[in-house]
Amino acid sequence: MEETKKIELIIIPVPGMGHLAPTLEMAKRLIAREKHLFITVLIIKLPFDTKLSSYIETVSTNPNYNSQMKFVELPQDKSILNVNSFITFISSHKPQVRNSVTEILNSGSTSLAGLVIDMMCTAMIDVADEFGLPTYVFYTSSAAMLGLQLHLQSLRDDFDKDVTDYKDDSEAELSVAIYVNPFPAKCLPSIALDKEGFEKLKLFVNTFLELESHAVESLSLDEKIPLVYTTGPLLNLDHRNNQDSSQQEIIKWLDDQPASSVGFLCFGSLGSFDEEQIKEIAYALENSGCRFLWSIKKPLVKDAVFPGDYENPEDVLPEGFLQRKKVIGKEGSQRDQPTEEIEKAIKQMIEPENEIRLEVKDMKEKSRLVLMEGGSSYTSIGHFIEQVMEN
């Protein structure tokens, strides 16, 4: 009986926890479903410590994965450490990626089936094309966001439209098939204006059909998109037992709170607010009486790749806020309209019978089912594995 050939995928994630963690979770699911599939993860290291090393070490030494998944840390070129564009920093690693692909091909131990790259690593498509390898893009944002980006790209390519003009038009609205309602152009995120294209690539999206049925179906009907695999929700649950002291303190505090009573404010690696905005959010939290967990980052400074942390939060929070929060809800203050709007939204969020809250609870249960055999994401991942193994 002929032995099944070992198939290998190269995965290139972005070195940020919000991208790295779901990418590796997807890799775990792939190898858990197919024993003949092997994965090499190429790690691009940032020029500063982002606490990712401990997470990578945890995954790489886990006996459940390390027989089928290995990590290769790409060498750093000191001449590019000071670039102030994140995309430029990533694309500058093309020579190192090219060398790694060459080594894997020359080893002959596996059949290389392609590259799976993060949505911000599209510069690596050139490397895959050089070797005649298929490229799959892992889109860590929502299917709706992907559809918006593809729509803007179509405006550029098919209608020669400069979509950056929309950012200056506060009244403009976009009619996009991916959305049920018109999209206000002033809300366009900068990544949506990126000129990198996805329309000719097979795509993984960190979502599931039941969560974004309209968006996923709209993408499936788009003839320009070859294929979309829904793989979510991708959650890093293995890392719960490998937390530092500050994380353990947070988890302990959360465990001590009543069920469904804590509001979580976190805006990702690039999400930041200036001092005035932070104060408005703080006043709203205080007046709402809601228990909360809040991750605060300061805006980007010159030549920085990511927003930094405030060394002393008291410098930007309202005077006495850290002391008053211990009895939050018993003391408030009158503020202007932005604070009132935020406060109203927070209060609505924590109401037990709030419509959105009930929908989230329902979606929570559906998100568990999609990962089980017969679920939409389970089936979608299975289709991808079949394609890779057959090709």
Which positions ≥6 away from 90 have C-beta within 8 Å?
14, 44, 120, 121, 123
- Verify whether residue 19 is a known catalytic residue: yes
Q: What is the DSSP string of 288-310?
A: HT-EEEE--EEPPPTT-SS-EE-
Which sign does the torsion angle of CA 18, 21, 25, 31 carry? positive
CB atoms within 10 A of CB 374: 8
> b/e map of 260-273 (b: 16 or more CB within 10 Å)?
eeebeeeeebbebb
CA distance 29 to 9: 13
Q: Which of 19, 126, 303, 336 is catalytic?
A: 19
> C-alpha dihedral over 366, 371, 372, 378, to 10 degrees?
120
- Active site includes 151? no
- Residue 64's identity, in one-letter code, is N
Burial 248-257 (b: 16+ CB within 10 A, else e): eeeeeeeeee
Catalytic, out of 36, 77, 93, 118: 118
Strand, helix or coil for residue 236 = coil
Q: Which residue numbers are catalytic?
A: 19, 118
